[in-house]
Amino acid sequence: MRSLLATSGLAATFLIRSASAEPARAAYLDLSFDALMAAGLSTADDPLIEALERGDHDPNRRGFTLQNFEITGTGAVDPYFNGEAHLVLKLDRAGETAIELEEVFLATTSLPSGLQVKAGQMFEAFGRQNPQHPHAWQFVDQTLVGARFLGPDGLRSLGTEVSWLAPTPWYFLVTGGVFNANGGTTYSFVNEEEPPFYANVEPNAVQGLEDLQYLARLAQNVDFGDETSTTLGASWVHGPNSTGEGATTDIFGADLYLRWKPVVNEQGWPFVQLQGEWMSRRYTQAAGQDEGGTSFTDAALWDWGYYAQVVWGFQTRFTAGARWEEAGGDSADSAPDAVLSARRRASSVLTYYPSEFSKLRLQYNLDLVSTLAGPDSGTNEHTVWLQCEFLLGKHGAHKF
């Protein structure tokens, strides 16, 4: 029996260091850095790439793009609130550093009855991909429909969101929000910087409730056994737009997310996820003139778009994916330019994750631009992007 003691002692000195009590650890602020960089080759020239890749953090030129360098701080403010801030830096085409305050908000942690209130600058809870930061996307670039309706930077604004986790036996989340309707990050609303059509009203003039933007979302999730989980969502956002007094925009969205993963998996692999979003935008246009002097009459433009994608984690640390997207509608027919033209795009992607903190991604885009206005009409464009990411600091849990 002596040997039990002796070998336990040996093991203890050889491999194991034991401690009697765990010390307290401070976690007042969790700070992390995330960098997304890309390099690309394309049959399209740079101006056309900019029209094809509409997302503000998409790779947008032949050669190298620093898409997104995100500094994130999160923590518990006190027993009542969590705080979160995301500061994003990027290099523009001239090599100048641009900074944006992507998100900064408080979220309550101790309200009763399944309620949570968020207040501040935030990605609005519209659909599935809009609230995700670019490094959480499964493709290098933003979706066509997302950039077109929700905007190149996503639908982000200053305001407040209330969500309620209903006391149902399955997951059912109801969200409502009120936001400022103006600025470049409320793209389809009061946006004089780079509006989808033209700007004819003074921003910042909130004279009544009709000058704010309103959001509603319902999301529910149902599991099919232990291995398959499905989330279904519907979103709606309403607010004034910049074409004139009384002109409004509504965006409707429906989203589906399905994930299959076996219970016995190796570090999260294999898995299959299907994701799709359909959106429709009703943009009422007040009579007026754009900068070029073109006159517009009163009109209601219905536009639509969708994407459907599948990602297959086929082998530990590797995923392959495919995405099909379309966008079109009244505005594509009435005022076609490279930005508003009907679009169709097919993409395929292969991603390698050396660890949870880095990734390498190769993506091929086939832009079917036969309907694109201008001199580039009629040719298809081929683009290859190579993206890499690294993450430093606390690794936040991944949202499902």
Partner 1 sequence: MKESVLLGVALLAGLFSVCLPESAVAADRLNVVATLPSLGSIARAVGGERVSVAVLSRPGQDPHFVDPKPSFIVKVRDADLFILNGLELEVGWVPLLLEGSRNGKIQAGGEGYFDASAAISPIDLPKGQLDRSLGDVHPFGNPHYTLDPLALRAVAEALAKSYTRLDPSGAEVYAAQAKAYQKRLDIALFGAELVDEVGGAKLAREAEAGRLDVFLTDNGLGGKLGGWLKKMQPLQAKPVVAFHTNMNYFWRRFGIVLLATVEPKPGIPPSAGHVADVVLMMRQRKIGAVVTQPFYDDSAVKLIAEKSGAKVVKVETEGDDALAIIDAAVLHVADALR
Residues 100-129 touching partner 1, rule: CB under 8 A, are: 109-112, 114-116
Site string for partner 1, 290-319 (x = CB under 8 A): --------------------------xx--
Q: Contact between 225 and partner 1 (CB under 8 A)?
A: no
Minimum distance of partner 1 from residue 233's CB (angstroms): 8
Instruction: For the segment 245-284, give every residue that binds partner 1 (CB under 8 A).
Output: 248, 250, 252, 254, 259, 261, 263-268, 282
Q: Indicate the residue type of 9.
A: G
Q: Contact between 234 and partner 1 (CB under 8 A)?
A: yes
Q: Contact between 4 and partner 1 (CB under 8 A)?
A: yes
300 within 8 A of 283, measured Cβ to Cβ: yes
Q: Contact between 229 and partner 1 (CB under 8 A)?
A: yes
Instruction: For the segment 19-38, give every residue that binds partner 1 (CB under 8 A).
Output: 19-22, 25
Instruction: For the segment 160-189, give every residue that binds partner 1 (CB under 8 A).
Output: 165, 167-172
Strand partners, 122: 157
Q: Contact between 136 and partner 1 (CB under 8 A)?
A: no
* Non-local CB neighbours of 64 within 8 Å, separated by 6+ positions: 37, 38, 39
CA distance 52 to 229: 33
Q: Contact between 216 and partner 1 (CB under 8 A)?
A: yes
Q: Which is nearer to partner 1, 275 or 383 (CB)?
A: 275
Q: Contact between 209 and partner 1 (CB under 8 A)?
A: no
Minimum distance of partner 1 from residue 292's CB (angstroms): 29
Q: Contact between 355 and partner 1 (CB under 8 A)?
A: yes
Minimum distance of partner 1 from residue 2's CB (angstroms): 6
Q: Which is nearer to partner 1, 49 or 155 (CB)?
A: 155
197 within 8 A of 190, measured Cβ to Cβ: no
